[in-house]
Amino acid sequence: MSRIPLIAGNWKMNNTRKETLDFLSSFLPKAENLSVEIVICPPFTSLNTAAEKLEGTKVKLGAQNMHWEENGAFTGEVSPLMLKEIPCDYVIIGHSERRQYFAETDETVNNKIKSAIEHNLTPIVCVGETLAQREEGITLDFVMGQVEKALKDVAAEDAKKIVFAYEPIWAIGTGKTASASDAQEVIGAIRNKIEELYDKDVADVVRILYGGSVKPENIKELMAEDDIDGALVGGASLKPDSFYAICSFNI
Ligand code: PGA
């Protein structure tokens, strides 16, 4: 089963509109010869600027979060309709920083996934364990629990549209990458879990990324694993050169 590799840049709370334009002016000319699917996820304030610059290119646009309702009294939130209008193609859901600092729960993650799919946005759903959970030996149980709760009441045809990102929290922004085989172990287990919840057909098409200190030096090794379909890249996606080096891992 061949799944198209996906490299997504999660800029987090970085890059003003001017910095977004500077990044894209340098990155886009080089990106034309890349064969993987590429997504950048700037902060909300830069989405519009990025969308104008990305028009007619192969690079796609994603947001870093959204509310599940279309509109209403939710001060500070952004809705799927608003993202679609930009237009965004992707939205990151349930990043560990949002779970940790902004009280995202498995339930809100599930609501957001269903809403994203309904609005034709591809959710990139983040799951991953803490260092304490890894040391306790409960990584697989914990992550499979997150996957199962994320997929509650999601139909098989919709589940196929989801991208998962396995991001061990201890590897995010720390310079510590999970070894390729550790990442494969969890990502392979996620694929098995999807097969158990649906069937092989669904499990074969869902793309599962690895995230956590991905850089040009380790991307090849990660991508060589059977079940790893790409990467969600934080720090190394902020510089056009390092992001390009990651996106061109197969050239
Ligand atoms: P990092 O972040 O690449 O800086 O570790 C990854 C992420 O949080 O998505």
The C-alpha atoms of residue 220 and residue 27 are separated, in whole angstroms, by: 20
Specify the pLDDT at position 105. 98
Statement: residue 251 has pLDDT above 90: no
Domain 6-247 has CATH 3.20.20.70: yes
Interval between CA 72 and ligand 1 midpoint (Å): 31
Atom 1 in ligand 1: residue holding the nearest Cα? 234
Mean pLDDT of the chain: 97
Specify the pLDDT at position 80. 98
- 197-218 tens-digit pLDDT: 999 999 999 999 999 999 999 9
Atom 6 in ligand 1: residue holding the nearest Cα? 234
Phi, psi torsion values for 223, nearest 5 degrees = -70, -15
Q: Which ligand 1 atom lies nearest to the CA of residue 97? A: 8
Q: Which ligand 1 atom lies nearest to the CA of residue 171? A: 5
163 touches 209 (CB < 8 A): yes
Spell out which residues line ligand 1, taking CB within 6 angstroms. 10, 167, 172-173, 211-214, 232-236
> ∠ at Cα 130 (129, 131), nearest 5°?
125
Specify the pLDDT at position 160. 98
Token code pair at residue 139: 């990584």
Token pair 């309709």 in the structure block, residue: 81
Does the model's pTM come out above 0.75? Answer: yes
The C-alpha atoms of residue 11 and residue 43 are separated, in whole angstroms, by: 7
Statement: residue 1 has pLDDT above 90: no
- Three-state DSSP string of 28-94: HHHHCCCCCEEEEECCHHHHHHHHHHHCCCCCEEEECCCCCCCCCCCCCCCCHHHHHHCCCCEEEEC
Interval between CA 169 and ligand 1 midpoint (Å): 9
Flag the least confident range among 80-84, 94-98, 175-179. 175-179
Statement: residue 64 has pLDDT above 80: yes
Specify the pLDDT at position 177. 84
HSE-CB of 250 using CA atoms within 13 angstroms: 15
- 135-179 tens-digit pLDDT: 999 999 999 999 999 999 999 999 999 999 999 999 999 988 889
Region of 14 on the Ramachandran plot (φ > 0 left; ψ -120 to 50 alpha; else beta): beta
Specify the pLDDT at position 159. 98
Domain spans in the chain, listed from the N-terminal domain onward: 6-247
Q: Which ligand 1 atom lies nearest to the CA of residue 237? A: 3
Ligand 1 test: best mutation among 167, 177, 219, 247, most atoms within 8 Å of CB?
167
Q: Which ligand 1 atom lies nearest to the CA of residue 92? A: 9
Which residues, at least 6 apart from 234, have a Cβ–Cβ distance to it below 8 Å?
Answer: 10, 12, 172, 173, 211
- 172-189 tens-digit pLDDT: 999 888 899 999 999 999
Interval between CA 144 and ligand 1 midpoint (Å): 21
Atom 7 in ligand 1: residue holding the nearest Cα? 234
- Residues recognised as catalytic: 95, 167
Specify the pLDDT at position 221. 97
Statement: residue 77 has pLDDT above 90: yes
